Amino acid sequence: MVDFDHTERGNSKSSRTRSCLLWGCGFSIVALLIAVGAFWSLFHYGRSEVAPTVEKFLELMDQQEYEQAYGMVGFDWKKTQSSDEFENLGTVIRDRFGGLEGGSVSGVKVSTTTQGTFAQLAYSATYAKETCMITFTLEKAADSWIIKGAHFASDQLVEAYRCPNCQSTNVVGSKYCGKCGSPIDPLADRKPPIG
């Protein structure tokens, strides 16, 4: 039996930094510098490669150029979301977040497999009403990057697409509840009256 006592946590002495047991400090430091350098240059390579695509996409969304933005997304995304649904999602994002004010890349990973070259880029987007972390998945085409997916880490968006009938959460951008089939329209109460 192990008792885990939370109050003990602050008292335990941190273990002393271990001296370089195996290969000597010099080697470790050089190895560390190489690792950091490699990571740094990979980050910058990835950022300069991929970020312009993501930034253009977010700009188009912000300018409500949904057709052009939809043109940047991949086949798999288009299969799960029609251009109408995409436009609806864009409108909801704009409505909930406000205008795009800026942003920065907080992480990027580029990898090449037998299937092609892929990238994952985490982008911290600053909107007027909220800062949202967006994780993009991209695939390299001939001379450009195709956006395969974008995940918005936002409770507000998740709530916007919660089913009004059965209360289950849905994929952001859904038109109908995946569980009960009820229509979902986060902008229902904001549409101007017809006429």
Q: Which residues bind Zn ion (CB under 5 A)?
A: 163, 165-166, 177, 179-180, 182
- Comparing CB distances to Zn ion, the nearer of 104 and 168 is 168
- In the bound complex, what is the minimum distance in angstroms from residue 49's beta carbon to Zn ion? 41
- In the bound complex, what is the minimum distance in angstroms from residue 155's beta carbon to Zn ion? 19
- Comparing CB distances to Zn ion, the nearer of 66 and 161 is 161
- In the bound complex, what is the minimum distance in angstroms from residue 51's beta carbon to Zn ion? 37
**What does the alpha-carbon distance between residue 171 and residue 84 come to, in Å, rounded to a whole number?**
15
- Comparing CB distances to Zn ion, the nearer of 64 and 165 is 165
In three-state form (DSSP H/G/I as H, E/B as E, the rest C), the secondary structure along 47-112 is: HHHHHHHHHHHHHHHHCCCHHHHHCCECHHHHHHCCHHHHHHHHHHHHHHHCCEEEEEEEEEEEEE
Contact of 156 with 129, CB cutoff 8 Å: no
- In the bound complex, what is the minimum distance in angstroms from residue 160's beta carbon to Zn ion? 14
- Comparing CB distances to Zn ion, the nearer of 78 and 179 is 179
- In the bound complex, what is the minimum distance in angstroms from residue 184's beta carbon to Zn ion? 8
- Comparing CB distances to Zn ion, the nearer of 50 and 163 is 163
Q: The tokens 């995409």 sit on which residue?
A: 86
Contact of 67 with 84, CB cutoff 8 Å: no
Q: Which residues pair with 105 in a beta bridge?
A: 123
Closest by CA position to 159, among listed 130, 136, 135, 139: 130
Buried b (16+ CB within 10 A) or exposed e, 122-147: bbebebeeeebebebbbbbeeeebbb
- Comparing CB distances to Zn ion, the nearer of 130 and 185 is 185
- In the bound complex, what is the minimum distance in angstroms from residue 164's beta carbon to Zn ion? 8
